[in-house]
Structure 1
């Protein structure tokens, strides 16, 4: 027995499912639109997809990835040519599908791209026209896909054993570094933050007279722009740091040289002050050692005097005792 949902789905799949087909002959209207029809005829594909999604009165929004438009007809063909979305994910062919669009930048999270664009626009369409299944069975398939996408995302982000990794530091700021990471054929950019361990925080404060460490050219640039831009990035510290990093990388060679010269001068300042500080510490240590030695000598002399006085008192007591006994 056929359910109401199944009957409505058959109407969607039929060539007379659109109001624009009402004037066709009876032989044409009774023909079922097949998957092969949709693959071969892009106009029919768009017509059926608009009807299927309820976009009969407004245009479909074409998705974009890395600034390039993604044709849903091509995406539908590429995925179904690989036996549907689940097989693409299980066979780890998400990147292969996205690569067919010739994007300039390699996509490292291809499964998420498919989840964002294919699932809401084409997944149910695939279920009906490619797999030829009724809409009433789609909910269970959609639930299974959610778990599959989660596993795929974890795999995309996992670092496989034996993967060659090169880390290039492109810039430095107060709490970390701007890095570029190469993993085989993939290249990622990001920020690495330097965190202080609890043991370091427990240490006593350093000598306030100790000279400050030298600052790099980027550090001067960062400090100069941080205060200027901070009011525009309230609550967005990481974005502010990334913005300053991009500004630094876009500087011309001559402009960057101004800050690097400041860094070189500060390095010389630091070396000079540290040398003077070490000499001062060595002199202070020698003075403290001499004072300690004098204190030790004086203490020994005092202890010897006390010992002599004690022995003298004892001798006098012994003499007095002997005199009393003689009397």
Structure 2
């Protein structure tokens, strides 16, 4: 029988990670490494999501479950000032909190230990429903509403592996150009909202490629030549090339070292870039109030 996964001990206090973004990001990466879960910095509306700000905004209000129960999610949303065109921001923000920060919150804010704790029902049932052509998506806290009236669909498993114990009844009340007006009933609560197609922003551009030692030297010398010889632009490449060829080995080594660091930067940024592309959201999303 496989050993049951348990929470790792907190490396710092909640106050320390809330005050220090670098400490927060370091402990969050270590936390996901211990848990064996994939970690990446999400992108919403073409910008990287500030996970530290999200954690601080939610925990300063008592944690995700309390934020949802007291209907303070809009206060959290206001901190990020998403573009009005980012129509799925509320859903995506909650989804990322559940997948990246819920268990971290349990350890660092609530000081939990031992077996994993699934999200509270309020954190799931009040999260906008994400629907993909009548079937549940594989993201946490999503619920499926089939296109036909009255169809039932089981909620996906919660984080931590414990299945939800209730189902969703939904109906389509109307149709518009890009989606549907829907009503769903969850655990005795009736929610009305829309299913709509989200036009996702274009993927972020890839990171700038790594530069060679000569490239770095060229970038440094070009403005100097432009200031000294403003009318000899055609000669800049030759002049910089000659200067590079006559540069002492020790002086060249400075640029080679900078180039090696830039290659490491490029390798890391390309890995994060490829991870973002793999996690691009699907083309159908829903919201509910």
Higher helix proportion (structure 1 or 2)? 1
Structure number, greater radius of gyration: 1
Q: TM-score, normalised by structure 2?
A: 0.39
Higher strand proportion (structure 1 or 2)? 2
Q: Return the structure number with greater relative CO, CA threshold 8 A, min gap 6.
A: 2
